[in-house]
Structure formats: C-alpha cells, structure tokens
C-alpha cells in the first residue's frame, strides 16, 4: 500500500518536473519568450478551441514586434515553437535556407490513412519527389486546358442567383459559392458532375464539408499537439486524419472513375487525366494518351492508385473551400463598398465586350482591377493564416546567438504580416489599390504570403485564383450585390475552422442588371 502511494505521488511529480524543465527551454536557448502556463503552454485558446488560431499566432507576432525583437519563442502545450518576426529571417526560412525547413511536421500514417499522404502533408524525399511529378500539372497551359470546366459551372451559379432575385429572397452567398466551387473541383479533379448547385445535399458537398470538421478532442489528437512526429512514431500511436466514411467515398469515386477511363481510354480536360498520365506513363504530356508506359523513365516516376486518390482528395478539399471563402469575403467587401463594385463591374463589362461578351481565359487575364480586388481579399482574409514548418536540422539564425534545434516547430503568422502597419497602412481597411504596381514596389519581399513562398508555395495557386476570378466575373456581370441585414455585424471568425471563415452565414441581396 505504501509503495502504491509513493508511485501515485511520484508519477505526477515527475511529470510536473519534466514539464517545468521543458518550459525553460527558450530560457536555456537564450531567446526572448512568453512565459507559458503549465500544460497549456501559450496555446490554451488553441487547445480548447476558444480562439481562432489566426488571432493566437498574430498576437505572438505582435508581442515580440512590440518588444523590438526579430523573433521569439512560445510553447504549444509543452512543445517549444519558434516565431519569426523579422522579414529577413522569414525569407531565409522560406527561401534562402529552405533546406533546413522543408517539412511541415504533420504526423501521418500512410498505411492506415492513405488519403492523408498528399502533397500538403508529406515531408522529406516523399514530398520532393511528388512535387516534382505534379508541378507540370499546374502550369498556365494546363490551367487553360481546364478553363472550360470552370466556365461551364457558372451557368448554374447565375441560374440560382436569378431564382433568388425573382423570389426577392436574400442569398446565403457563403453556401452557394461553396456549392459552386464543389462543382468546379469535382469536375476538374474527378471529371464528375457533382450538381451541388442544384442539389445542396449531394454526396460530394456532404463529404467535402465533413473533411473540414475538426475531430472531437481526444487523447490521441492532444498527443499530436504535445509530441513530435518522432515520439509519436516510437510510441506506435495510430490514428487517422481522414474520417473513415470520407476515405471510403473518395477512394471509391477515384477507383471507379480511373477504372472506367482506363477501360474505355477516355480523355477529358481535367486534373485526373494528368494524374492518370503520371500513373500509367510516368510523365505529363500534352497529348490525350494515358497509356504507353515509357519504361526508361524508371518505376519511381509512376504514381500508385493511392497516390492518385490522395492528390485528387487534397485538390478537392483545398480547392473548393479556400476559393469559396475568398469569393465570399470579396463579395462581402464589394457589397460594403459599392464604388469598388461599380468600378470592377465596369472593367468586367468593358473587357468582355472585347471578347464577344464571353468569359475567356484571355479576358480574365486582362482584368487588372479584378486582380487587385482578389489580392486585397487574400491579404485581409488569408485562407491559411499561418505557415507551419519543422526544423529538420540544427539551424543557427544569422546575426544572432540562437540555434533552432532539429525538430522544433516554426510558425510564421501570415495574418500578422498582412496586418502589420509597417507594411500596410490602416490594415483593417479594404483597399485594392495596395496592389497597384507602385505600391507593390514599395513593399519589401515576404509581405504578401497568401499562398506561402518558396519551394512549398501552394502548387494550386493558379487554379484557385482562376476559379475565384471566374466566379466573381459571372456574378458581377449579371447582378448588383448589397449586404442583407441577416448578416451578423461585426463579423466574427469561426474558432473551429481550419480555413479562415466567418462564423455564421453571409447574406446578400442580388439585383438583376439591365443587360440590353
């Protein structure tokens, strides 16, 4: 009995001492840091999901910036995390010294969670090899190839807005744009007509939304926050990031679509065709063939069916959510700033007139003010508000005595940089002219990180920008948008969302324009 009592006392005491020792990590390193709270570190709001993590990391950045520090240390639970503030350091991490920071440090287990083994999550050589294979699929030429897929979906978007106008009903633009991008990505990634605009309860829409629902807090995902990949691997912790029913649905869709295309040698202008070329030929070409393997390329050049499915999956969930939220925020701001909406509409109508009143790729590329509006939306509402990295080998910060040890988390706050008054005056104000050539030239590099930067720059940035522009052009060509009073103001961010999102719905009124 005495021994049991001693053990029960000793275990929490040892754990307490270990955590206290860990909480002195940055003090031992010699880096300014924020004093942590036992167990939570500096991220209680992240762990209990009471605050949007965008704001949490933005506040860390502001704390060190106000103290005149180029960087600082915080704790995610008991794990130390490095917060860079100085743009030169950020440039080194993302570009110059990228070889030290290639990884995101996301714990995945391909054998039990194959859809998680996609480009965003992978690290090391697996990421590097896959990035090399996929890069040719996202050139401007390939975007032109998929452009007709995007524009085909605008017909349904215009029709549903027209119905709301005729009924004098407010439009939940957040929901409708989510369905619009679901249809685009479903068609472009899988070659399947999702029909989400007409059927909001379609399987693609349902499972796509489900992929973004954060799991309930459990011991396993707390371990993921508190422990490194290496430690989790040693303990043999097994858990999946993709819900089983979501995985079953997407694997079945990809497998059946691939089987059908291969059996019937089907060609379609979409991303799946390019992935099938990688699966069956080892390279992406400009022809319609998906077979005729070139064995000289080496087997390591070919994608497996699981890899094809994983890339389709991330293309789908990343593409529909980030673009739809960007369009939602753009419509919201343009509804609040009618003069900007009128200016953009005038540009749209003028340019389209030169292109037979059709939305073409070349027409979209000519719309300079549209580009400014999208960029300012991405500045003010970056879809991913942080850029996570993991140091993969010891790295001495230039011009300092601080060495970031292998395995240390690194978090760059995109939102904090986008709202830093040193780079953007009155950052809460929506001003597309921040992105005219003169103003862009005045700002130093690394001040606009909506898609990241360097070798891990978002590979689908071109596609995401293009579909957001196509959606806005289709709406503003036909309708005037104003904010409906059902939209809650001031806006609140959803603390449980992985992508920057407003809490609740965004309601607008649409008025049909005279198109004579």
**What span, in angstroms and rounded, lies between the C-alpha atoms of 222 and 224?**
5
Phi/psi at 446 (nearest 5 deg)? Answer: 75, 15
Residue 82: which H helix or E strand, with range? strand 79-84
**What span, in angstroms and rounded, lies between the C-alpha atoms of 103 and 120?**
10
228 vs 218, 221, 224, 385, 408, CA distance in Å? Answer: 17, 12, 7, 22, 9
Q: Prior bond to 490 cis, omega within 30?
A: yes
- For 384-423, b/e burial (b = at least 16 CB within 10 A) is bbbbebbbbeebebeeeebebeebbbbbbbbbbbbbbeeb
* Beta bridge partner(s), residue 75: 80
Composition of the chain by helix, strand, coil, percent to 5: 55, 10, 35
Residue 166: which H helix or E strand, with range? helix 140-167
3-class secondary structure per residue, 125-150 = HHHHHHHHHHHHHHCHHHHHHHHHHH
- For 90-106, b/e burial (b = at least 16 CB within 10 A) is bbbbbeebeebbbbbbe
CB of 378 closer than 8 Å to CB of 328: no
**What span, in angstroms and rounded, lies between the C-alpha atoms of 95 and 97?**
6
Residues 6+ apart with CB under 8 A from 206: none
CB of 69 closer than 8 Å to CB of 32: yes
**What span, in angstroms and rounded, lies between the C-alpha atoms of 488 and 503?**
9
312 is in an annotated binding site: no
Two tokens, residue 269: 């202008």
CB of 130 closer than 8 Å to CB of 119: yes
**What span, in angstroms and rounded, lies between the C-alpha atoms of 172 and 472?**
15
**What span, in angstroms and rounded, lies between the C-alpha atoms of 29 and 397?**
12
Two tokens, residue 185: 């990505």
CB of 411 closer than 8 Å to CB of 386: yes
Binding residues: 458
Binding residues for heme: 458
């Amino acid at each position: 009995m005495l021994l049991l009592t001693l053990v029960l006392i000793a275990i929490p005491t040892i754990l307490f001492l270990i955590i206290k020792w860990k909480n002195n990590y940055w003090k031992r390193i010699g880096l300014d840091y924020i004093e942590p709270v036992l167990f939570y570190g500096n991220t209680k709001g992240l762990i209990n999901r009471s605050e949007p993590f965008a704001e949490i990391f933005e506040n860390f950045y502001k704390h060190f910036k106000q103290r005149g520090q180029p960087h600082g240390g915080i704790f995610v639970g008991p794990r130390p995390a490095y917060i860079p503030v100085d743009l030169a350091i950020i440039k080194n991490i993302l570009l110059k010294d990228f070889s030290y920071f290639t990884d995101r440090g996301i714990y995945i287990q391909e054998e039990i969670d194959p859809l998680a083994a996609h480009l965003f999550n992978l690290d090391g050589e697996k990421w590097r090899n896959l990035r090399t294979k996929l890069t040719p699929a996202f050139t401007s030429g390939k975007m032109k190839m998929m452009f007709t897929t995007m524009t085909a979906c605008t017909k349904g978007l215009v029709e549903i807005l027209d119905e709301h106008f005729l009924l004098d009903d407010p439009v939940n633009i957040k929901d409708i744009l989510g369905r619009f991008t679901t249809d685009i990505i479903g068609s472009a990634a899988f070659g399947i007509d999702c029909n989400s605009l007409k059927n909001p309860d379609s399987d693609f829409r349902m499972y796509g939304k489900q992929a973004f629902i954060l799991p309930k807090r459990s011991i396993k995902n707390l371990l993921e926050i508190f422990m490194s990949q290496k430690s989790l691997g040693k303990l043999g912790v097994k858990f999946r990031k993709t819900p089983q029913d979501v995985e079953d649905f997407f694997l079945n869709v990809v497998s059946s679509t691939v089987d059908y295309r291969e059996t019937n040698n089907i060609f379609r202008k979409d991303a799946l065709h390019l992935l099938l070329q990688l699966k069956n030929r080892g390279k992406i070409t400009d022809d319609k063939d998906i077979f005729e393997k070139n064995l000289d390329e080496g087997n390591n050049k070919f994608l497996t069916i699981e890899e094809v499915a994983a890339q389709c999956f991330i293309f789908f969930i990343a593409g529909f959510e980030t673009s739809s939220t960007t369009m939602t925020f753009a419509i919201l701001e343009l509804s609040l700033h009618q003069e900007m909406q009128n200016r953009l509409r005038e540009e749209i109508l003028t340019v389209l007139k030169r292109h037979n009143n059709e939305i073409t790729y070349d027409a979209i590329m000519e719309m300079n003010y549209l580009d400014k509006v999208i960029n300012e939306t991405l500045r003010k509402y970056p879809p991913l508000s942080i850029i996570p990295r993991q140091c993969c080998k010891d790295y001495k910060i230039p011009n300092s005595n601080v060495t970031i040890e292998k395995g240390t988390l690194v978090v760059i706050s995109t939102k904090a940089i986008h709202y830093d008054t040193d780079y953007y005056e009155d950052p809460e104000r929506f001003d597309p002219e921040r992105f005219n050539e003169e103003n862009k030239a005045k700002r130093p590099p690394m001040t606009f990180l909506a898609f990241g930067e360097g070798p891990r720059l978002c590979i689908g940035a071109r596609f995401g920008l293009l579909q957001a522009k196509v959606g806005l052009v289709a709406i503003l060509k036909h309708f005037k948008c104003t904010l409906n009073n059902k939209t809650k103001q001031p806006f609140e961010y959803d603390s449980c969302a992985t992508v920057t999102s407003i809490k609740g719905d965004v309601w607008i009124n649409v008025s049909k324009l005279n198109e004579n």
